[in-house]
């Protein structure tokens, strides 16, 4: 192992003639062994050029399994679990390979979907067991094929099984959570809480942000932080968001009794932008409800837009045509660029809470807010500063030219009836 110049450690593929640590490229001459059966697993490899033969020893004889050329991958099981190589890889020509270390991938697989991680680990484990020949068996020249459950592999099995157990726990936890969310939707346990959005200065209520809460029969009021990530990975967030939109369409007309043009802002997960029918789905809900579309604001984060900017641009354009308004949520935390502000049809910028929280203590935050204010003026966008907790922050923001605010100072997210009473006052 050698530290590379970025600080994380990579394993030098043995026998490599050269290794470019930044790109993890290794060179082998024809005939060089890249790894041998029963070596400890380190990296997986992509062949950049040349040829690699994968072989295994069966009853003392080498059996060629496959020859791989440029663009193909080998040693990939190293990415999913520790243990020993089940085959030998030899360069059969001058060969350049690109090494991928397991650390890079393992975290990502788990991040994407713990279930996928679990399934892959299980498959690798089955494969490893199936391919494994103990020294005893090899001496007796036994056949490779066997019943996978009938033996246990001594080396590395413990660490691997612990890893597997962890994955299983995470994956099953998510599965259970997903089932519970589905049940919660059926039992209508998801409700919107409303948090006032006010004019600065002054504090007149301009609208409410709808923030989802799970009225769980056993756990009480559950925060979105505890279920939205799972709902996003399982796509159930689509149902939750459309549910909140339906609520907003019912709530908005009722709010007009006590305040003119008071709008309801709903959150849209980035997951929706994978769907071709997003604008249609939203249009149907809005039209069926009969609400004036200008009373509904859709909050979207920058990262949601940047996934596929072309798709997002089209979807937002269609939503705008319906008369809905669009707010860019958590503004300043993502890949803010003038390019897309100009490109995307946006009506409102929501200045992220992190800048507001640090206003009093940090001149840089004041500069950021000042820059966002002038940006908003240039593009004729409304502004809402999030997370205002003190009157001092509200004054500073108003003085900087920020025309809207939201935060505990004006009210916490509250049930519909409380929002109505607040508006009535």
Asked if residue 299 binds Ca ion (CB under 5 A), the reply is yes
Q: How many CA atoms within 13 Å lie on the side-chain side of 3? A: 4
The residue within the footprint of Ca ion, chosen from 329, 394, 396, 407 (CB under 5 A), is 329
User: Among 67-75, 249-257, 383-391, 394-402, which window interacts with ligand C2E (CB under 6 A)?
Assistant: 383-391
User: Among 7-15, 119-127, 132-140, 400-408, which window interacts with ligand C2E (CB under 6 A)?
Assistant: 400-408
CA-to-CA distance for 401 and 310, rounded, in angstroms?
32
The one-character DSSP state at 84 is B
Give just the sign of the alpha carbon dihedral 183, 185, 191, 192. Answer: positive
Q: Which x/- pattern over 10-49 shows residues binding ligand C2E (rule: CB under 6 A)?
A: ----------------------------------------
Asked if residue 408 binds ligand C2E (CB under 6 A), the reply is yes
Residues β-bridged to residue 62? 57
User: Among 68-76, 221-229, 289-297, 335-343, which window interacts with ligand C2E (CB under 6 A)?
Assistant: 221-229
User: Among 60-68, 119-127, 255-263, 386-394, which window interacts with ligand C2E (CB under 6 A)?
Assistant: 386-394
Q: CB of residue 270 vs ligand C2E: minimum separation in angstroms?
A: 9
Report in angstroms the alpha-carbon separations of 298 from 170, 186, 341: 32, 24, 16
The residue within the footprint of ligand C2E, chosen from 56, 269, 336, 390 (CB under 6 A), is 269
Number of residues binding to Ca ion, judged by CB under 5 A: 5
Asked if residue 307 binds ligand C2E (CB under 6 A), the reply is no
The one-character DSSP state at 60 is T
Number of residues binding to ligand C2E, judged by CB under 6 A: 22
Q: CB of residue 379 vs ligand C2E: minimum separation in angstroms?
A: 21
Edge-first strand listing for the sheet containing 25-28: 18-20, 25-28, 95-100, 44-49, 73-74
The residue within the footprint of ligand C2E, chosen from 78, 181, 237, 319 (CB under 6 A), is 237
Binder of residue 387, out of Ca ion, ligand C2E, none (CB less than 5 to 8 A by kind): ligand C2E
Residue 192: alpha-carbon gap to chain centroid? 23
Token code pair at residue 128: 């490893």
Element (H, E) at 191: strand 190-199
Q: Name residue, tokens 């059966």.
A: 37
Q: CB of residue 278 vs ligand C2E: minimum separation in angstroms?
A: 13
Residue 204: exposed, middle, or buried by beta-carbon count in 10 A (0-12, 13-18, 19+)?
exposed
The residue within the footprint of Ca ion, chosen from 39, 76, 166, 330 (CB under 5 A), is 330
CA-to-CA distance for 356 and 365, rounded, in angstroms?
7
How many residues are listed for the chain in this entry? 425
Give just the sign of the alpha carbon dihedral 59, 61, 66, 68. Answer: positive
Q: Which x/- pattern over 151-190 shows residues binding ligand C2E (rule: CB under 6 A)?
A: ----------------------------------------
Residues β-bridged to residue 20? 25
CA-to-CA distance for 32 and 17, rounded, in angstroms?
9
Q: How many CB atoms within 10 Å of residue 239?
A: 14
The residue within the footprint of ligand C2E, chosen from 302, 329, 384, 398 (CB under 6 A), is 329
Residues that bind ligand C2E (CB under 6 A): 195, 211-212, 223-225, 228, 237, 240-241, 244, 267, 269, 329-330, 387-389, 406-408, 413
For Ca ion, the binding residues (CB under 5 A) are 267, 299, 329-330, 386
């Amino acid at each position: 192992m050698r530290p590379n110049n970025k600080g994380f450690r990579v394993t030098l593929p043995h026998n490599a003639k050269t290794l470019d640590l930044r790109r993890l490229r290794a060179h082998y001459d024809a005939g060089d062994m890249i790894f041998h059966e029963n070596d400890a697993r380190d990296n997986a490899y992509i062949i950049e050029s040349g040829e690699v033969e994968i072989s295994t020893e069966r009853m003392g004889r080498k059996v060629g399994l496959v020859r791989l050329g440029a663009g193909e991958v080998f040693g990939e099981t190293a990415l999913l679990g520790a243990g020993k190589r089940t085959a030998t890889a030899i360069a059969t020509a001058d060969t350049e390979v690109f090494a991928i270390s397991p650390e890079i991938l393992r975290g990502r697989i788990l991040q994407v979907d713990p279930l996928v991680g679990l399934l892959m680990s299980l498959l690798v484990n089955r494969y490893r067991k199936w391919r494994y020949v103990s020294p005893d068996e090899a001496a007796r020249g036994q056949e490779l094929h066997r019943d996978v459950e009938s033996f246990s592999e001594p080396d590395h099995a413990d660490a691997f099984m612990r890893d597997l157990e962890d994955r299983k726990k995470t994956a099953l936890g998510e599965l259970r959570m997903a089932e519970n969310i589905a049940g919660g939707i059926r039992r209508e346990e998801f409700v919107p809480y409303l948090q006032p959005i006010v004019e600065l200065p002054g504090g007149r209520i301009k609208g409410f942000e709808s923030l989802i809460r799970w009225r769980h029969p056993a756990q009480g009021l559950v925060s979105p932080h505890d279920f939205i990530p799972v709902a996003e990975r399982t796509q159930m967030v689509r149902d939750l968001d459309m549910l909140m939109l339906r609520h907003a369409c019912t709530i908005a007309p009722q709010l007009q009794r006590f305040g003119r043009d008071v709008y309801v802002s709903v959150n849209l997960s980035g997951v929706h932008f994978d769907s071709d029918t997003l604008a249609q789905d939203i249009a149907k809900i809005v039209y069926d409800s009969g609400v004036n579309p200008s009373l509904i604001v859709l909050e979207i984060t920058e990262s949601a837009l940047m996934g596929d900017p072309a798709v997002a641009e089209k979807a937002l354009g269609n939503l705008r045509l319906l008369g809905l308004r669009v707010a860019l949520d958590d503004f300043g935390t993502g890949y803010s660029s003038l390019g897309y502000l100009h490109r995307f049809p946006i009506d409102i910028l929501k200045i992220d809470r992190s800048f507001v929280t640090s206003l009093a203590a940090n001149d840089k935050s004041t500069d950021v807010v000042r820059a966002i204010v002038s940006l908003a003026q240039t593009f004729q966008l409304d502004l809402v500063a999030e997370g205002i907790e003190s009157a001092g922050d509200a004054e500073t923001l108003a003085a900087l030219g920020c025309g809207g605010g939201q935060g505990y100072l004006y009210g916490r997210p509250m049930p519909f009836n409380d929002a109505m009473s607040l508006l009535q006052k």
